[in-house]
Amino acid sequence: MDRQTFLKLLAAGVVGAAVGRSTASPLGPSPNVTATPETSSRAARTAPVSTAVEARSATGIVPVPPPAGVVAGLPGQGATLALTIDDGTSSDVVAAYVALATSTGIRLTFFPNGCYRSWTESAPALRPLVDAGQVALGNHTWSHPDLTTLGDRQVAAEITRADKFLRNTFGVRSSPFLRPPYGAHTARVDRIAADLGHPTIALWNGTLGDDRVLSAADLLAHAQQWFLAQHIVIGHANHPAVTRIFPQLMALIDERRLQTVTLDDVWSAGD
């Protein structure tokens, strides 16, 4: 094992221990539907300076304009892996992912639902990573409805409220990406999203399978199956089991010589 791998494992182990000490319910807190931009701003003002952030240029990847329509995999040849983490029903799991990114430099894309308090709680630690481009944030709606069941006005409201949340909490000015909850979308949903500044429907071609509760062994089996070059892998910050295999996930990325990228690293309209 080389030194870099050891350090990553060490760092991830510390993260795992921190999660293990938590006394919170393993199912995480219930949604905080009253979270407000005011609390977000307060959290952001107290943000500490990050010490383990790499510049976006560290990837050596030149982004191309985000396409209109569905993406479900990364373009071209290469050895990049986009890990995309959704929802955030568990504050402990969100915090663990943020700590993992801080300690290892891994590049992640989060698709938060603003209705969960986990994101405002982790904002002070997360915001420096967002500012540095190590972490990207995309729209996953405010409260995770199946958009295909809603009227046009409600679809727009869910997307707009999530945009406002990302702007107020993390200073995200815009993102081309909508990840529709459950991957459920239609041409109508896509058109509304595009009109609101999200032309790219960000789906996936690999999964940790953790939209339901899985054992660590099952999670690792999914990672073995799907941590592949040019894949977009979906995971969820909802159930704590995944935090216990962070060292194995990092080792897998190293063994396979994969380079983690954010979706913004790959697709960006430019500033």
CB closer to Zn ion out of 87 and 92? 87
Q: How far is the CB of 211 from Zn ion (least distance, A)?
A: 7
Q: How far is the CB of 212 from Zn ion (least distance, A)?
A: 12
Binding Zn ion (rule: CB under 5 A), the pick from 86, 163, 264, 265 is 86
The C-alpha atoms of residue 197 and residue 167 are separated, in whole angstroms, by: 14
Residue whose CB is nearest to Zn ion in the complex, by number = 86
- The answer to whether 210 contacts Zn ion (rule: CB under 5 A) is no
CB closer to Zn ion out of 86 and 210? 86
Binding Zn ion (rule: CB under 5 A), the pick from 31, 61, 66, 87 is 87
234 in Cβ contact with 83 (< 8 Å): no
53 in Cβ contact with 134 (< 8 Å): yes
Stretch that binds Zn ion, among 52-60, 62-70, 78-86, 185-193 (CB under 5 A): 78-86
Q: How far is the CB of 116 from Zn ion (least distance, A)?
A: 11
CB closer to Zn ion out of 87 and 158? 87
- DSSP class of residue 143? S
Stretch that binds Zn ion, among 159-167, 180-188, 222-230, 244-252 (CB under 5 A): 180-188
The C-alpha atoms of residue 83 and residue 260 are separated, in whole angstroms, by: 7
Stretch that binds Zn ion, among 86-94, 129-137, 155-163, 165-173 (CB under 5 A): 86-94
Of 250, 131, 111, residue with least CA distance to 182: 111
CB closer to Zn ion out of 31 and 247? 31
Number of residues lying near Zn ion (CB under 5 A):
3
Q: How far is the CB of 144 from Zn ion (least distance, A)?
A: 6
Of residues 20-59, those binding Zn ion (CB under 5 A): none
Q: How far is the CB of 87 from Zn ion (least distance, A)?
A: 4
Rg (CA), the chain: 17
Stretch that binds Zn ion, among 55-63, 125-133, 176-184, 254-262 (CB under 5 A): 176-184
Of 224, 230, 255, 216, residue with least CA distance to 79: 230
Stretch that binds Zn ion, among 2-10, 124-132, 177-185, 254-262 (CB under 5 A): 177-185
The C-alpha atoms of residue 120 and residue 39 are separated, in whole angstroms, by: 7
Q: Where are the alpha helices (DSSP H) in the chain?
A: 3-21, 37-45, 91-104, 118-132, 152-170, 187-195, 216-226, 246-255, 263-266
Taking each helix axis as running N to C, give the angle between helix 91-104 and helix 118-132, from 0 to 180 degrees, rounded to the nearest 10. 20
196 in Cβ contact with 153 (< 8 Å): no
10 in Cβ contact with 102 (< 8 Å): no
Residues at the interface with Zn ion (CB under 5 A): 86-87, 181
